[in-house]
Every structure is written in C-alpha cells, then in structure tokens.
Chain A
Amino acid sequence: EADIYQTPRYLVIGTGKKITLECSQTMGHDKMYWYQQDPGMELHLIHYSYGVNSTEKGDLSSESTVSRIRTEHFPLTLESARPSHTSQYLCASSEYYEQYFGPGTRLTVT
C-alpha cells in the first residue's frame, strides 16, 4: 500500500466555489503529479512537479493551479469551480519511473 493520501475522497460543491484538493506523501519522492480521469476513460496529466518550488502544466489544459512549497505536499486549487470540472482527480508521486497513486478525489460541481 502506497503512502500517498488525498483528501477529501468525495466532494460535492456548488458552482463558483473555491476548492483545494489535498495530496501528501510520506515517501520523500521529489516528483509529484496530478491527473484528471473521467469514468471509464484514460488519465490525463494536468500538473507535475519535480521538486520544491517546481511546477509545470501537463498535457491537458486545466484551469486549476498547484503549489509545491514542501516536498511531501502538492495541493491543487480551483479558484471558481464549474460543472465542467466534475471528474476524478488522482495524485501520484515517484522516485524514478514507477508512480504511486493516491485513492483519488471524486469532485462533483453542481
């Protein structure tokens, strides 16, 4: 079982609200990732970080932002949630090639 945690696991929120999805890992990995996944579909990389104060946008354009001020913590923020943001968000970390995933946050924006 990987030591990577995501909170909340489920979130239902109204349009226009600001939300932060938390992700933390205790493995000391430098590299962390955020993916977006719709049901039954592939994962799309939306943000990644190779270390503290390093963040990059992924292959899928996203209105979310991330920060990495501590190695173990990689939160994702949506300033104004919209129904199109409804999806599952998966956080992962890696030391080399193998990625370890958290359980995911299922976000529903009404």
Chain B
Amino acid sequence: SQQGEEDPQALSIQEGENATMNCSYKTSINNLQWYRQNSGRGLVHLILIRSNEREKHSGRLRVTLDTSKKSSSLLITASRAADTASYFCATDASGGSNYKLTFGKGTLLTVNP
C-alpha cells in the first residue's frame, strides 16, 4: 500500500508566490525526506526531518512534520520559475530497514514567470 501520498497532484502559481505541498503516510517512520525531480532527470535531496522534529528550515524551504496526523508539508517561499519541478516525499518505516525509502506520487509544481 502507498506509504506516501502528496497533495495536490499539480500546483500552478506565479513567480514570487509561496507554494505548499502536503504528504501523508500510513505507518510509523524514522525520517521523512523531500526530493525534487526536474523533468526526465534523477531526484535531488532537499531536506530530511526526523520523527522527533516538528519543523525544519533550509533556505527558502520550510518543512513541518506532524506524526500524530502522519503528515508533512513542504513550503517553498518566494517561488521562482526555476522551482518548476516535481516534488516527492519519501519515508523510511521504523522497525524495518532504515535505508529503504517509499516514495509518494509527487506534486508537479509549475511556477509561471
């Protein structure tokens, strides 16, 4: 069954606006990560948040984690056209192999100039 589910599936905004993407998962986790994928390319790691953390920042990125609701959000502030990409959350299930990740279906973000 799907561990990570992103919402929305697609998001279109204007340059300068903020973009928020959500991820829900089903089982207990050790960590949750967010990755970015430009069209037809490999994924690039953006940020990792541990299960005992509630919020984390990295540049224009802000990630929150609510383990009671099994959900996370990724906020990109002051978006740029270059932020256009697909964004995936990935979880590793606690109690199992820590290094295997389960990816969600992703959110396709389009930032219009």
Binding site for B on A (CB under 8 A): 2, 4, 6, 31, 33, 35, 40-43, 45, 48, 50, 58-59, 88, 90, 92, 94, 96-104, 106
Contact = CB atoms under 8 A, between A and B. Distances in A.
Contacts, number: 64
Contacts of B103: 35, 42-43
Contact size class for B? 20 to 34
B43 A48 contact: no
B105 interface: yes
14 contacts: A2-B44, A31-B99, A35-B103, A40-B106, A41-B105, A42-B2, A43-B103, A88-B40, A90-B42, A97-B98, A99-B101, A101-B35, A101-B42, A102-B42
A97 B90 CA distance: 10
Contacts of A50: 99
